[in-house]
Amino acid sequence: MGTAALDTLRRELAGEHPPEGGRAMLHSDEAFRRLLSCIVTLEYEPGELLTERQIAADLQLTREPLRRAVTLLSALGLVEPLARKGIRVAGINALDVSTVYDARLAIETQAARFAAIRSARHEAKVLWEHSAPDAEGDGGGEEPQNAMARRFLEHDQALHLAIAALGRNPFLEDALTRLLPASARLWHWVYRELGPDTQMMFSHDDLVEAVTAGDPDRAQEAVEAHLAQSQRVLTEVLTSRIQGGRR
């Protein structure tokens, strides 16, 4: 995945609007954003086999931007193009949880330490904007609970990415950018299976406080605890559903 594609993905995760640009670039970015959203939020089911024509009709996309979007999402492991068959959405299983969270732990412990050391106090304070999303807000026609879960995950992604950015290591930031969509998709699946329980929308307060205080040891401990709690819940839910015959 190239720099331009990572920038598009980073803007999407941070909730930023795309910059002004040529028509072809905007069409390509929009195709990527629409298809990414459908996969992460499970509008397209894990394991579902799709055709280009079906996706183009669903999302009102033309062929070339759609193909570029599929290539980028394939690089993220979210889809698999199949010759003469279509495009298969990646499945979800318990191994995905350990794969994603092992990588997140390796990246985010160091990113949190760097953020605590390298960011100025006034910079770190902006993290509070993402730490506790409002329960109210425009759900875009969604059920209130579903809208709340979506907002929480959007803020969660933006917060973790903001911490990585404060660490001022672009390689760590790029690596995390690649992982967050797969992580968010796991949580959308859990919230759909169990309902968007606020007790599973874990607080980031300890992590934000540690980064803001400039304490790298506390920041590392906080992110380790946060990720361990998340991984434990995801693993338990996926394992129980698979044993019960649901995937």
Domain boundaries, the chain: 3-89, 94-243
SS3 assignment, position 1? coil
The model carries a pTM of: 0.87
CATH class of 3-89: mainly alpha
State the pLDDT at residue 149.
85
pLDDT at 24: 47
Alpha carbon of 17 to those of 9, 98, 112, 152, 162: distances in Å?
11, 32, 26, 19, 16
Residue with tokens 């092992």: 102
pLDDT score recorded for residue 141: 55
Q: Which two tokens stand for residue 73?
A: 């999402």
Q: How many residues does the chain have?
A: 247
pLDDT along the chain (247 residues), means of 10: 73 67 60 95 96 95 93 95 95 93 98 96 87 55 72 92 96 95 94 82 93 97 97 92 62
Helix axes 94-118, 216-243, angle to 10 degrees: 170
Q: What 3-state DSSP class applies to 50?
A: strand
CATH architecture under which domain 94-243 falls: Up-down Bundle (1.20)
Given the structure tokens 């599929």, which residue do they identify? 70
DSSP state of 79: E
Q: Tell me, what DSSP letter sits at residue 200?
A: G
In the chain, the amino acid numbered 88 is R
The residues, any chain, with a CB within 8 Å of residue 243's CB and separated by 6 or more, are none
- Closest by CA position to 55, among listed 89, 102, 22, 83: 89
C-alpha 115/C-alpha 220 separation (Å) is 10
